[in-house]
Each structure stands twice: as structure tokens, then as C-alpha cells.
Structure 1
Amino acid sequence: MTQVVIMSFVCFLCPGMFNALNAMGGAGQIDREASNNAHTGLYSTFIVFGVLGGAIVNLLGVRWTIFASGLTYSLYSSSFIYLNSTGNGAFTIATGPILGIGAGILWSAQGMIMMSYPMESQKGRYIAIFWVIFNLGGVIGGIVPFATNYHQGDNKSAVPLSDAGYIVFIVLEALGATSALFLAPPSRVIRDDGSHVVLIQYTSVGFEAKEILRLFRNRWMLLLVPMSLVSNFFYTYQYGPYNGSIFTLRTRGLNSMLYWASQMAAAYGISFLHDYRAISRRQRGMYSLVLLTILTNVMWGSTLVVQNRYTHGPLPNGESTDYPNGLIDFKESSRAAGPILLYCFMGGVDAVWQSYAYWIIGTMTNDSKMLARYAGFYKGVQSLGATVAWQLDAQSVPLMTQLIVNWVLMVLAIPFMFYVAANVKDTSEEIETLPANDWQTKYYANINEIL
């Protein structure tokens, strides 16, 4: 539990702050072009290093890989200070691919820790604990734009986030990276029942390369490709075309807080069903998916009602949104209540989707090295979808089209998820056999001991 909590705080201060910044739409900028293009670069490298991330973590350990990865989040946030002062988005766009490398490695390590460290009966709870702490970063991060721009009063003009706001993000993300140095090597971690997370065995470059290739022939991971592909696809629409288009900046910050707070509540709530031992794991998987299917369709149906009221948000030429009566401020309670509550609901559905994804992957095995690769594959495919989604917005694809694409992709993923859930076993005992006596094994054993 200690290791999961430490990892949660790393993600709370690194990806959590990144999420809070981007949940405002355009990372706090009026013009989303630089942010959208940075995200395209980010997820392009994330695709590769998501898949490779599990092997990298297995070979080099968790502490220094996560520390170095965490620093890339600070680099990304710092680029917006340069953008504010020069109007030149080149630096921001360049930091995107660098962050993609760091994020791929960090999330592979996170998935391995969260899915392999708990006992089978605790996986739902551990996922919920991680998701609550992680999304607390989004809640606190949302306070930054809300507080630093509260002085706008009732001014509805579109303004970017101030340098002071970005500096707060940079410092917090650097602290998150440093927190990774408190993690213990997986070989020293013992579960509540006294079992070791991993045996004292070390992998090799050649073995990891073979195992990565095997992922693309793994029946169950291939069936979960649609689920993985769409699992971050909807962020682009929710952050930009929705939150970034119809709300004032301070309200976007408030929305960000509420979005991540609802994620915390939803992740905590679904964990009880995932760990409910009175029914089989297969039944838990099926019931959770039925709930997720209902929530997904209610969310997009409600969003369609709002989207029918506008076609664009504030434009770089100074033109305001065509949403009736302009941008929504949270003080306009009669106008704001419905759209704000809908954004909260989006956050809750996201948490249920992500929790279910990790839970269903976690039912496949208890082996930490295998789960590191599974987590990396999940994040890599997820990033492929995100790359496409960010470019849809960057190319000014109509907002209604973006909404429909999101809805259709999520609905199409569900039958594949049902098939996997229907084949879940009540226990997973698969343990990987690693190569025993080659020179690479001994070499990386020394590297791991040093780290």
C-alpha cells in the first residue's frame, strides 16, 4: 500500500497537474493550436514509449525512470510562459514529443505497481485509492486558474492563464518527480499476505523484445484495443470544444476542480463492485460493464443537447462563442448549473471507464513484469487514439462531428469488452519464467541493484 500511495502522489503532482492544466481547454490559452499540436507530438511518441515503457521499467527499475519521466511534465508547463511572452508556439510544440517519452515510461510503471502489488481481492480498492489521490491533483490544479483569474469579476473576455499560474504548475510537477525517489525496488515489496510481488529474477533486453512482440499476438489484449483506443480519445472534445468553448476562464478552472473531484467519487464507488466477493469476478465484470454502457450513453446524449446550441468557442480573431448569450460564468446560476453538472458527469464516466480498463487487465495475471508490459500496451494504444483526437480539433473539425465520433467509438468498444469480461477467471496464477544464466541477466541484475 505504501508503494501505491507514493506512486499515486507522483501522478497527483505530475499527470494530475497536467490534466488540470489541459482540462481548461488549450492548456489555459485562448488559441488551442499550439496545445493541440503539442498533444499530437506527445501522443505520437507516447504510442511508441507506451509499448516500450514496460520493458524499460523492467530493465532499469522504477525510481530513476519515473523521476526522469516526471521532469518532462515541468518542461511542458514551462513552455507556456515562453508562449505567453512571445506568442511563438514552437517551444510548446517541441516539448510535446519529449513529454510523450516520459509519460509512456511513467504510466507503464504506474500500471505495473497498481495492478501487480495488491492481492487479487484488493485490486479494485487499490485502483480506487490511486485514482482518488491522482485526481486530487486535478482538483488542486484547477484551483490555480480559478484563483489567479478570479479578479476578472464578471468580465467575459477570453484571456490566457497568467505566468504566475504556470509557475505554480512547474514547481508542483518538479516535486512530483522527486517523490519517485522514495519508491522501493519491486523485488523488495511484500504483499499483505506475505507473498513477494516479484521473485528475485532479472530480465534481459532480448527477452523483453520478444515479449513486446508477443503482445501483438495476445488474443485478450487485441480484443481490448477498441477499449484502449477510445480511453483518452474523449478528453480532446471535453477539454476544448466543451469546457474551453463555452465558459469563462475562471469557470473553466472551477469546472476542472469539479471534473476531477467527480472522478475521485466515481472511482471510489465502482471499487466496491469490482471487489464484491459475494459474486464471481466474471459477474462483477459483466455488471460493471452494463453500468458503464448506460452511463456512457446518458453522458453523450446529454452532451448532444448542449452541443446543438453552439458551433464554436472564442476565436483568435477576438470573435466570441456563438453559444446563446456568450460565455457562461459560474455566477450565472440559471445558465451555468446544467453545463457544469454535465462536465462533472463526464469526469465520473471517465473514472469508471479507466477503473474498469485497469481492473479487467489486472484480472489477466498477477505477474508484475507481464503487467508492466500490458499497462504499456494499453497506454500506447490509448495514445494512438489521443493523437487522432487532438488532430481532429487542431484541424478545426466541426464540434458536432467530434462528438459523434467519440460516441460511436465508445459504443463500438463495448461488445469487445463484454467478450473479455465473459471469459474472466476467478483467479490468475500465471507467473513468467525469466531466462536464467545469460550475461544480460547478470548485467541488468547489477544495474537494478545499483538503482
Structure 2
Amino acid sequence: MASNDREDAAGVLPNDASSLSLSQTRTWYRTTLFNAFVIGAVGFLAPGLWNAMSSLGAGGAQSPYLVNAANSLVFGLMGFLCLFGGPIANRIGLPWTLFLGAIGYPVYSAGLYANNRYGNEWLVLVGAVTCGISAGLFWASEGAVALGYPEPSKRGRYMNIWLWFRTGGPLVGGAIVLALNHDVNAKKKGKVDATTYLVFVALQCIAAPVALLLSPPEKVQRADGSKIIIKAESSFKAEFKALWSASNRRDILLLLPIFWAAYFNQYSGNFQTYYFGVRARALIGFVSNFGTLLSSQLISTWLDYKRVTVRKRVTYALYYVVVCHVVAWVYGWVIQEKYTRTRPAWDWEDAGFVEGFFVLLLWDFARQALQNWLYYFLALKTDNISELSRFSGILRGQESFAQAVSYGLNSQEWKGGRVPLAANTILLGISVYPTWLAVKEFDVADAHSGKISSSVDEESGPSATIITEGQG
């Protein structure tokens, strides 16, 4: 093996001559890096730009209530499609699932444009339906690719690439919004310029064809020569039976509260529309992404730190995430109580702008750290990408249901935001013990023994080296 291939394997060596040959003759568009860029690019163009609009608060609308109701519909549908996305992906293949998962986003953006420009409401709801269906399939396939394609010893690194792309969507989108909404006319509260949405529609239309560049898992060529393990069921009936079995696993059930709590804070959009002018919201939507990227980089670096065992990495990272949330939410409550009394409307030139912006920055920082940790921990549970699709779909579905309820809760104007803030705080508190229990009971070897053929290394995590079955 060439020295650069040996370094790229990050300490995981191939187990036979065929693996060695594969690692030396890899085709660039079959590599894990290329596929990480594909999944990242689709995430950048579709949900990434969706998040850019969301980061404006209520999709850039003047009033948050219609958009929050539409988003509740998006995430309700997304929850069901995420749940069944694993079986669908295992039957039609991940590239086509990703393609279908990208086509609904531009319709949603077109609905926001029609509402902004002409006051049209029905297209917002139609867009919410198409986006919800697409998003469910997207998240089910994206999670499996981002977690299942890379070599186990480099999951944190590749997950960070994926998240950099997906955060790049809001970053570029935020720059576009800021460029179109920065003059003195945008100092007050209101809605963004309608032209903003046309740019987003055009960019999101590119996502679907890019998705077709994704390699099927059986054709992916890892640097260490190991194969992605595929053990799909032979029929939809068998897939749904396997899904039901996975849904009743104790370790998956223990993680449900944290997936609900992690994504329940959709009050941040209301917080922006209540207390910031249009151009201040545009600046927040742009700058806050740097904090998100920093959060992702910090925890991903730790999760791939080979001098510490997997168990210690996961455990200490959980403690770090808990501390981040305690700081973010205590500070958030303090500022919210202050704003309940004073009802400010900050522009970026105002002296009080930073303290309100810092609330949003801390919420995003803590949430990103938790998201990275959750998906890294989930990926440790199996080497079988078909099973990983089910796990990812189950938990993404639950987080989608959480966001649907949260957006529904925030479709009303609550005095001082106390009700949604209290709901999120309670959920976070309740989720700590079962999450800690899931970590305490987890064992790297036990998670893989008896299920698939793989070698397990406590220092680098499970290493997939053979493929057990083709897709039926």
C-alpha cells in the first residue's frame, strides 16, 4: 500500500489481498470523499438553503404564524416519511431516495415567494406538503450515507465535512439575504425582499440532479479496502418487520427523548421576529453559522481523537453537550425575561443588539454539538448500512415530530415566549437520564457481535471488512 493510502486508512488495515488491490486502484467518483461531497452538496442546496430562510425567523416573513403552521405540516409529514424512509431506501436504493428527497424544496421556496409578493397562502401549504415528503426521504438517506459510507475510524471527520456543507447553505444563503436586505429601509421589523426567494428557488433546483451522482453503497471504495456491509431484506414486508423490531430496541427507545428535546427549540424564529429588524435578522442568519461551524469542528475533532477510547470520547462529549445546554438556556431565560418587560426591536446599530444575538448564537452552538454527538453515537451501533438506515429513519422521524409540535406551539403568540421555552427546558431536563443510561449500557463489541461479521477495535470503533449480502 502506498504511504498516502496507509495514512488515509487512519490505522485500519485491509484484511486480504483483494482489499489491498482495491485501495490502490480506486476510482475517484467511487471514493468516500467524493460521495461525502455529493451528500454535502445536496445538503447545501436543499435543506441548507431552507435553513437559511428559517434562520431569518419565520422564513423571512413579517408575521411568523402562517410559516410556523406550514413548517408544522412539513415536519409532521417528514416524521412519517423518515420513519418509513429506511425501508424505501433499502428497496429503491440510496441515490434515487436522495433524488426524491431533493425535489420538494424549491416548491416550498416558491410558496414563500408567492406569499411575500402576492399574499398567496395556498402555495405555501402545497410547498409544505411537497417539502415534508421530500425532506423525510432526504434525511433517511442522508443519515445512512453520512454515517455508513466512511471508514469507521474517520466517521467524525466525514460527518464534519457533511455538516460543513449543510451549514454552508445557511452561510451562503445568509450572505445573499444580507446583500439584498441591508439598507436603511430594512432597519425596522418586517419581511425580506421578494427577490431573495427567487435566488433560493434557482439554487435548490440544482439539488436533485446532483443527488444522482451518489454511488450505491456496494460500489463505494474506501481507502482501507473494506466494504460497506449491506443486509437489506428481500421484500417491503420484511423491511417493515425489521423496522418494527428496530423500533422496539431498548437502546433506540432510550434515545427518543433526546431526539425530541434536541430539535424542539423552534421558538428561536419567533424570538428573531419579535425583537429584531429585517437587516438585523439577515446579519444574524449569516454570522450565527460561524458559531455552528466552530461547534461542529470542536466536537468532531474530539470524537475522532484516537488516543482516547471510544467509550470515553462518547461519555465526555455527552458531559460537554450538557454543559453547553445549561449555559445556553440559563442565559436565554435571563434575556427573555428582560425582553418580556422591555419589548425591544433591535437593529445592528443599537447598543443592545449583541446581548440578544448572543442568545441565538448559544442556542445554535449547543444544538449543533448535540447533533454531532447524537449521530456519531448512533453510527457506533451497527456496521450494516441497511440497519443504519432504519435507525436513522426512526430517530430522524422522532425529531421531525418534535419540530412539528414545536412549530405548532409557536404558531401562537405566547406572552414572553414562556410556554415554548418552558416546554423545551423540561424536555431537555427529562432527556438527560435516559441518554446517560444509553451511554452507560452501550458496549462497542456487544453492539456488533452476533449481528454482522466485523472486527471491533475499542480504539478506532467497529471496522467493516466484508459485505454479507447484496440488496434483494
TM norm. shorter chain > 0.5: yes
Specify the code of the residue in structure 2 equivalent to 1:81: Y
Q: 1:400 maps to which residue?
A: 418
Residue 399 of structure 2 is aligned to residue 382 of structure 1: yes
Q: Distance in 1 between matches of 2:248 and 2:143?
A: 21
> 1:31-430, aligned counterparts within 5 Å?
31-152=63-184, 156-199=187-230, 203-234=234-265, 236-240=266-270, 242-311=271-340, 323-324=342-343, 326-332=344-350, 334-398=351-415, 399-427=417-445, 429=448
Equivalent AA in structure 2 for residue 362 of structure 1: A
Q: Quote how far apart the aligned CAs of 1:279 are.
A: 2.1
Q: Distance in 1 between matches of 2:443 and 2:246?
A: 20
1-structure distance, mates of 2:286, 2:367: 15
8 A contact 2:189–2:273 mirrored in 1:
no
How much has 1:94 moved relative to structure 2? 2.6
Offset of residue 176 of structure 1: 2.0
Cα offsets for 1:119-143 (capped at 9, x unmatched): 2221111211111121011111111
Shift, 1:22, TM fit: 0.8
**What letter corresponds to residue 362 of structure 2 in structure 1?**
F
Residue identity opposite 2:283 in structure 1: L
1:53 & 1:171 partners in 2: Cα distance?
27
Corresponding letter in the other structure for 1:363:
L
Aligned counterparts of 1:125 and 1:75: Cα–Cα separation in 2: 33
Which moves more between the two structures, 87-96 or 10-19? 87-96
CA contact (8 A) 1:281 1:425 kept: no
1:73 is displaced (CA, Å) by 0.6
Code of the residue aligned with 1:33 in structure 2: it is Y
RMSD: 2.0
Q: Report deviation, 1:380.
A: 0.5
Contact 1:282-1:423 within 8 A present in 2 as well: no
Matched to 2:200, the amino acid is F
Look up the SS of the partner of 2:358 in the other structure: helix
Deviation at 1:145, TM superposition (A): 2.0
Percent of pairs identical after alignment?
Answer: 24
Deviations 1:36-90 (A, max 9, x none): 1111111111111110011111111122222222121100000012112332322
Contact map agreement 2:82 2:396 (CA 8 A) in 1: yes
When normalised by structure 2's length, the TM-score is 0.85
Partner of 1:437: none
Unaligned runs of 5+ in 1: 312-321, 434-440, 446-451
Question: For the structure 1 residues 32 and 190, does the alpha-carbon distance in structure 2 shift closer, same or farther, using more than 3 Å as the test?
Answer: same
Q: Partners in 1 of 2:128 and 2:262 — Cα distance?
A: 20
Moved more, 197-206 or 119-128: 197-206
Asked if the contact 1:124–1:272 (Cα under 8 Å) also holds between the matched residues in 2, the reply is yes
Deviations 1:336-386 (A, max 9, x none): 122223322222111101001101111111111011111111110001111
Q: CA separation of 1:303/1:203 partners in 2, compared to 1, >3 Å: closer, same or farther? A: same
Give 3-state SS (helix, strand or coil) of 2:414's partner: coil
Amino acid at match of 2:297: Y
What amino acid is the match of 1:305?
A: V
Counterpart secondary structure, 1:402: helix
Partners of 1:223 and 1:417 within 8 A in 2: yes
SS at match of 2:188: coil
Contact 2:187 / 2:279 at 8 angstroms: preserved in 1? no
Deviation at 1:114, TM superposition (A): 1.2
Q: For residues 79 and 196 of structure 1, do their structure 2 counterparts lie closer, same or farther at Cα, with a shift above 3 Å needed?
A: same
CA contact (8 A) 2:232 2:386 kept: no
Instruction: Report the alpha carbon displacement of residue 200 of structure 1 after superposing the two structures with TM.
Output: 8.5
Q: 1:201 & 1:55 partners in 2: Cα distance?
A: 9
CA distance in 2, matches of 1:51, 1:97: 16
Gaps (5+ residues) in structure 2? 1-32, 454-468
Which letter does structure 2 place at the counterpart of 1:335? G
Instruction: Specify the SS of the correspondent of 1:70.
Output: coil
Per-residue CA distance 1:313-351 (angstroms, 9 max, x = gap): xxxxxxxxx745x4111122x211222233222221111
> Take 2:442 and 2:311, find their aligned partners in 1: how far apart are those partners?
5
**AA aligned opposite 1:55:** P
Q: Deviation string for 1:281-304 (max 9, x for gaps)?
A: 111111011111111011011111
Aligned counterparts of 1:331 and 1:67: Cα–Cα separation in 2: 43
Letter in 1 for 2:349: K
Structure 2 CA distance for aligned equivalents of residues 346 and 44 of structure 1? 23
How far apart, CA to CA, are the structure 2 residues paired with 1:221 and 1:200?
A: 19
Contact residue 136 and residue 261 of structure 1 kept, 8 A: no
